Homo-oligomer: A and B are copies of this chain.
Amino acid sequence: MTTVQNIFPVVGNQEVGAEIFILRFHAPAIARSSLPGHFVNIKVDRSYYPLLRRPFSIYDVEGDDVEVVFNIVGRGTEILASKRPGEGLDVLGPLGRPYQFSDVQYSTAVIVAGGLGVAPFPFLTRFLKKEEKQIITFLGAQTEKMLVPKRLANVHLATDDGSAGCQGTVVDLVERYFETTCVEGPKFFGCGPNEMLRALSQRAENLNVPCEVSLECVMACGLGICQGCPVELRGGSVRYSLVCKEGPVYDTSAIVI
């Protein structure tokens, strides 16, 4: 992986749900070295407000174009939503440690995504298909309009309000599925709010299924230099790992979520 920083041209910015956008920019250098689970760190404009870059998972790579998906939650994403094709975008990436999708220990990738936690999975799905893994995808959100069920395989939906798929949390849906269905050589690939990842990690442990998740946390640099993004490691004494550098993808057996 070679990390680069540059101004890349936006080639598209499409609203695909309730204040949810897929932003596409032309960045051959990033496209070439990205893997599923990597993220990019975007400076939304030249202002000092917001001051810091904003991290986004790589949603997909098509040719020399890179995509991210995001919803408007604050000033940074509000500015991102206003980007138009032709404008320049200051991107640093790819960053982080990707999902370990190619190991031979498992045969079915069980993708579990909460809300915008769907972000890394279209790109992962591409690679899983190349690896000829089975794929089952569970996707949950508060309501139908917050689901982005695109470019995934074998999708099962859950919404808190029952507006699409089953009513309930996505982890509950996974649990019920595993109760009734025999999944061959499963491995969980999770991404979403910490609460959901905690629940997933618990289920994975109970089911004795390997589980990798991509964590979110506040980041200042994304490069391993500020020490601002710790996650606690399991084990006796308190030790931390830096999410931006050693993560954002972790095997849940290694960390305290």
Contacts and interface: CB of A to CB of B under 8 A. Distances in A.
Interface of A: 47-49, 75
A52 to B, nearest CB: 13
A49 to B, nearest CB: 4
Contacts of A49: 47-49
A136 to B, nearest CB: 44
A75 B75 CA distance: 17
Contacts of A47: 47, 49, 75
A48 B50 CA distance: 9
Question: What 5 A-B pairs are tightest by C-beta distance, nearest first?
Answer: A49-B49, A47-B49, A48-B49, A47-B47, A47-B75
Nearest to A79: B47
A4 B122 CA distance: 51
Contacts of A75: 47
Nearest to A78: B46
Contacts of A48: 49
